[in-house]
Amino acid sequence: MTLLGVEGIVKNYGGIQALRNCTMNFQEGAINGLIGPNGSGKTTLFNVMTGYETPDSGKVTFRGKDITNSTPDEVFAAGIGRTFQLTRIFPRLTVIENVHIAAQRKGLVAQMRQWSQPDERARALESLDFVGLTKLSREPAGSLSYGQQKLLEFAFIMVAEPKVMLLDEPAGGVNPTLLKHLGGRIKELNKTGVTFIIVEHDMEFVMGICDQVSVMHQGSALIEGKPEIVRNDPAVLEAYLGTDMTEVN
């Protein structure tokens, strides 16, 4: 069933229409790919879904609940994790601290207790181990390589055990081995029931990993379906034509 859905979203910046009546549904338990030429509104859609932008009209639903006007922190608390196109970690904090940030706590009293409770620590180390950064746990995150930072970002979202993870170009600027590692991790997490929505230009990666692919074009959904279907759909090529062909193959 639909876990996260957008319905008739419209978003304008001044004159430019970034999203025009965009409707999409992402299935629970699936790894959804979200592709489309540059400027087709993928990232804007992410921003709308995660509370960074409020749409001019339309609504966002998560497990049937309307979250259109929630703030980013509320969205995250509800179980929607998200990474950014340009990795954003906390450079001056150590890796282990980074991984603790997303661990949610309710109530002022809890907030005032020590930042690393045993269970949180276990979870933190677990997810660090999961992405293979345990070694570096005491290093300031700023000193990590770009790829490692991507993994870290991935790890600290995992800690909050979100129902769905929105990954904005996870493959960007990551070397093949690391990418393979990352793909494996995504698959493994998906087995534990985490839903994924991945914006990616690297078709290899997308087609290899996704069960379901949606194509965006000029701010609205073009088609969605199984990778192989989408891959051969003329409309998609059409959408990409004139834009950068290398992205398609």
Partner 1 sequence: MSTDTTISQRPTPPSYEVPKVIRFGALAVGFLVLVLFPLVFNNPTISTIGVFAMIFLMAVTGWNIFSGYTGYIALGHAVFFGIGQYATAMLASYWQIPPGWETFLLIPVSMFLAGLAAIPIGLIVLRVRKHTFIVLTIALMFIFQLFAYNLRGWTGGSQGLEVSQPPWDGSIFNLPYYYVGLFLAIVAIISSFMIRRSKFGLSLLAIRDDEDRARSLGINTRNSKLTAFVISAIFLGAAGCMYAMFVGSVYPQFSFDPAFDLELSIMAFAGGLGTILGPSLGALIISGAQQYFLITFGGANVFLIVYGALFILILRLLPGGVVPAISDKWRSHVVRKEQRILDSELEGPAEAGAHK
Q: Which of 2, 23, 135, 187 binds partner 1 (CB under 8 A)?
A: 135
On whether the CB atoms of residues 27 and 33 are closer than 8 A, the answer is no
Q: Which of 10, 27, 59, 101 binds partner 1 (CB under 8 A)?
A: 101
**By the rule CB under 8 A, 192 interacts with partner 1:** yes
Nearer to partner 1, 93 or 223 (CB): 93
User: Closest separation between CB of residue 91 and partner 1, Å?
Assistant: 6
- Please choose, from the candidates 136, 97, 135, 141, the residue with its C-alpha nearest in 3D space to the C-alpha of residue 115: 97
The answer to whether residue 138 forms part of the interface with partner 1 (CB under 8 A) is yes
| Contacts of the segment 127-134: beta carbons below 8 A, 24+ positions apart | 127/99, 127/155, 127/156, 127/158, 127/159, 128/95, 128/96, 128/99, 128/155, 130/155, 130/158, 130/185, 130/188, 131/155, 131/181, 131/185, 132/181, 133/95
| DSSP classification of residue 116 | -
Q: Is 190 in the site for partner 1 (CB under 8 A)?
A: no
Q: What are phi and psi of 241, to 5 degrees?
A: -55, 145
Residues in contact with partner 1, shown as a per-residue x/- string from 65 to 94 under the rule CB under 8 A = ------xxx--xx----x-x---xxxxxx-
Q: Which is nearer to partner 1, 55 or 81 (CB)?
A: 81
Per CB under 8 A, 126 contacts partner 1: yes
**Residue 114 in the binding site for partner 1 (CB under 8 A):** yes
Q: Which stretch binds partner 1 (CB under 8 A): 31-39, 131-139, 144-152, 241-249?
A: 131-139
Of 61, 86, 85, 87, the closest CA to residue 75 belongs to 61
Crossing angle for the helix pair 176-191 and 118-131, nearest 10 degrees?
Answer: 130
Written as one string, the DSSP assignment of 198-209 is EE-S-HHHHHHH
Sign of CA dihedral 78, 82, 88, 89: positive
Toward partner 1, which CB reaches closer, 107 or 234?
A: 107
# residues near partner 1 by CB under 8 A: 45
Q: Which of residues 18-57 bind partner 1 (CB under 8 A)?
A: 50, 52
To the nearest whole angstrom, how small is the minimum distance from the Cβ of residue 216 to partner 1?
22
Least distance from partner 1 to the Cβ atom of residue 59, Å:
20
CB 200 within 8 A of CB 37: no
Q: Summarize as ranges the residues that interact with partner 1 (CB under 8 A).
A: 50, 52, 71-73, 76-77, 82, 84, 88-93, 97, 100-105, 110-115, 122, 125-127, 129-130, 132, 134-135, 137-138, 156-157, 160, 188-189, 192
